[in-house]
Amino acid sequence: MSAPMRFTPGRRRILVGAAGLAGLGGIAAFRVSAASQGLALRSRAGLAFGTTVALTVAGSDQSTVEAALGEGFAAMRAVEAAASLFRSDSALARLNRDGVLEAPDPHLLTLLRFALALSAETGGAFDPTVQPLWPVWTQAAARGERPGFDVLRAALARIGWRRVQVGTDRIVLEPGTALTLNALIQGYAADRVMAALRARGVADAFVDTGEIGAAGAHPDGTPWRLGLADPRHPGAVADVIAPFTGFAATSGDYNMSFSDDRADHHIFDPATGRSPGFLSSVTVTAPTGLVADGLSTACMVLGRERGAALVAAHPGCAVRFTGKD
């Protein structure tokens, strides 16, 4: 019998400067480093995509830095309005409700086209139509149970990426189909935020939208480093990627689970309706957050060997796997 759903809000990775994990000293040390270089440094945090988000940027002009932060958050809000299931008024929420969406938001089109292309590439291991499994598992977990075979079979009958038709002016879902883009939206948001910062001339920044992006360098001039959380002890660092620029996404069995042993969690295998049992976490680094986010989720379903082959087919990407043990 499964225990009720567990949600662990701890961060899956920690972005640090080359000064070191313990010696960095937080945002105050960032400011001191930035000031020594003649830079203004600002950090702003908030809520988006059902989690905490934060942007930190450095630049020579304080007004430019402040404007860049504002535009970075505006970019996140635009992505939320298009595709967040945490907003009942988002374009995606309306599509799921009505089954058809006219004149779809360009962000939604970008996300959905990428999702369907990745579905085709992975033979359906990645599938944005797994949303019907979510209420099945949350309701069963609330009762301290796992979904029964018949309930899962009924949900699986509503799943399949070919049940979605995407055109420039219209998106149509087959009856009973519902979409989730939660496996892509935070990585894509990191892309849009970084683009907004670049447009303002910001060269040194890191963004945390739930997935990570880094550009330039730490204010002390040394490369960024990315600490990866231990999936069994999320407050501890298991590995460090150094130097780090670009984007990184982590998928794991520990951030939201339906059972204490994490055998059942929020990542679903579209073929079975259950959680894949090979891995506890996957981290992918990539030239874009969208690619990193999608590949990390797909690898959780595909497993180590097939996941590594998938990542190898994408230029500029790398992957780290952590097994269940």
- Condensed to tens digits (0 to 9), the pLDDT of residues 130-172 reads 999 999 999 998 899 999 999 999 999 999 999 999 999 999 9
Which alpha helices (DSSP H) does the chain contain, by range? 26-36, 62-83, 91-98, 106-121, 133-142, 149-156, 185-199, 289-302, 304-312
Tell me, what's the pLDDT at 15? 41
Asked if 170 contacts 164 with a C-beta cutoff of 8 angstroms, the reply is: no
3-state SS of 126-172 is: CCCCCCCHHHHHHHHHHCCCCCCHHHHHHHHCCCCHHHEEECCCEEE
C-alpha span between 204 and 197 (Å, rounded): 9
Domains of the chain by start residue, with CATH: 91-173 (1.10.3980.10)
What phi, psi does 233 have (nearest 5°)?
-140, 75
For the beta sheet containing 233-241, the strands, ordered from the edge strand earlier in sequence to the opposite edge, are: 13-17, 224-230, 233-241
Model confidence over 23-61: pLDDT tens digits?
Answer: 333 444 555 555 556 667 888 999 999 999 999 998 878
Helix (H, G, I), strand (E, B) or coil at 96: helix
Nearest to 122 by CA among 250, 253, 307: 307
Asked if 291 contacts 317 with a C-beta cutoff of 8 angstroms, the reply is: yes
Those residues of the chain that have pLDDT short of 70 are 1-39, 234
Mean pLDDT (the chain, rounded): 87
Global pTM value: 0.89
CA R_g for the chain? 20
